[in-house]
Amino acid sequence: MTDEAETGTDAAARLQNRSLDRGIDVLEALARHGACSLADLNRHTGLPKSTLRRLLGTLLERHVIRQSLTDRLFRSNVIFPPGSDAPQALELAMLIDRAMPHLMALTRKVDWPSDIHIVEGSKMRIVDSTRPLSPYRLNHGFVNRVINIFGSATGSACLAAMPDDVVAEHARQTSGDPVWGLKRFDMNLEDYMLRLSQVRAQGYGSRLSNYLGETVLDDGLAAIAVPIHVNNWPSGAVTLIWPRSFKAPEAFAATFLGDLKATAKAISNAIAGRPEAG
């Protein structure tokens, strides 16, 4: 009986180890190739699609990976910064999981799409979007795109919620950079702090007038944004987006800022585990 019990235990251990090995294969494929579809993972790992579906279901449930609403691709929630062998914890999985139901509800209410961005060093990164849900089909921009923190609506919303010395450090770290720094907008730190004082007064971030996005051509869009907080820090922001020719930011905010702020507050409360107001 003892030998049989040990044999059964060994077989179960081997099965668990094989599942773990296969799960690691999936994570390595996502780390090596970036966002992947089921077919991509089948090609990269050689694992059957039925096996991959089971593994992906477990990894999604454990928040190790995520599947974007925008393109339905799988992405790892463990981020390895350049030059580092250690994962960078950004509470990314929790932030997206808690944010997306609220953003989806917002888009269903107001029709305009919403993006969620995170602060990543001295840049912003788009991590998901409700653009597929919007009747207006503003499908410019891509999940995982890195954007300028100073020129973007989300960047200005986050920077406005930070102490001035932290803003100054972001400016120092990107000093002279024609793509990621204030040099791109012919601004110095003093100029930008005046800009942030306006953002703080109006209660939302918007794009700098000479920021036209990170695409080769002008994307033609405008956005307003408010920060979301993780551990009482502005770790990201949520937007509402519309064609720039439709309305000026002030006019758009007059109609929709209240809904956007309520959504951001609900997301911050959900991340902190605070109950929703009745």
Candidate from 6-15, 47-56, 247-256 with smallest mean pLDDT: 6-15
Spatial separation of the C-alpha atoms in residues 135 and 105, rounded to whole Å? 14
Average pLDDT, the chain: 85
Kindly state whether residues 71 and 204 are assigned to the same domain: no
Q: Is residue 278 part of a domain?
A: no
Query: Of all residues in the chain, what percent carry a pLDDT higher than 90?
Result: 55
Q: Is residue 63 part of a domain?
A: yes
- Tell me the torsion sign for CA atoms 264, 267, 273, 274: positive
Spatial separation of the C-alpha atoms in residues 187 and 168, rounded to whole Å? 13
Average pLDDT over residues 55-75: 83
Tally of domains within the chain: 2
What is the number of other CB atoms lying within 10 angstroms of the CB of residue 201?
Answer: 8
Kindly state whether residues 64 and 122 are assigned to the same domain: no
Per-residue pLDDT of 180-239, as tens digits, reads: 999 999 999 999 999 999 999 999 999 999 998 887 677 889 999 999 998 889 999 999
- By residue range, what is the domain housing residue 24? 2-76
Q: Is residue 117 part of a domain?
A: yes
**What is the pLDDT, as a whole number, of residue 224?**
98
Q: Residue 179 is part of a domain; what is its CATH number?
A: 3.30.450.40
Q: Residue 40 is part of a domain; what is its CATH number?
A: 1.10.10.10
Kindly state whether residues 199 and 69 are assigned to the same domain: no
Kindly state whether residues 26 and 142 are assigned to the same domain: no
Kindly state whether residues 67 and 134 are assigned to the same domain: no
Kindly state whether residues 165 and 240 are assigned to the same domain: yes
Kindly state whether residues 143 and 103 are assigned to the same domain: yes
Q: What are phi and psi of 223, to 5 degrees?
A: -155, 150
Sheet holding 205-206, edge to edge: 146-148, 123-129, 115-120, 233-243, 221-230, 205-206
**What is the pLDDT, as a whole number, of residue 11?**
55
Average pLDDT over residues 33-50: 89
Kindly state whether residues 129 and 256 are assigned to the same domain: yes
**What is the pLDDT, as a whole number, of residue 155?**
97
**What is the pLDDT, as a whole number, of residue 274?**
80
- Tell me the torsion sign for CA atoms 246, 248, 249, 252: negative
Per-residue pLDDT of 71-105, as tens digits, reads: 788 888 765 444 443 334 446 667 788 898 999 99
Kindly state whether residues 69 and 99 are assigned to the same domain: no
Spatial separation of the C-alpha atoms in residues 101 and 253, rounded to whole Å? 22
Reported as a pLDDT band with limits 50, 70 and 90, residue 14 is: low
Task: Give this prediction's pTM.
Answer: 0.73
**What is the pLDDT, as a whole number, of residue 2?**
47
Per-residue pLDDT of 158-181, as tens digits, reads: 999 999 999 999 999 999 999 999
Kindly state whether residues 31 and 142 are assigned to the same domain: no
Kindly state whether residues 42 and 128 are assigned to the same domain: no
Kindly state whether residues 242 and 132 are assigned to the same domain: yes
Helix (H, G, I), strand (E, B) or coil at 268: helix
Q: Is residue 86 part of a domain?
A: no
**What is the pLDDT, as a whole number, of residue 194?**
97
Helix (H, G, I), strand (E, B) or coil at 232: coil
Spatial separation of the C-alpha atoms in residues 220 and 50, rounded to whole Å? 42
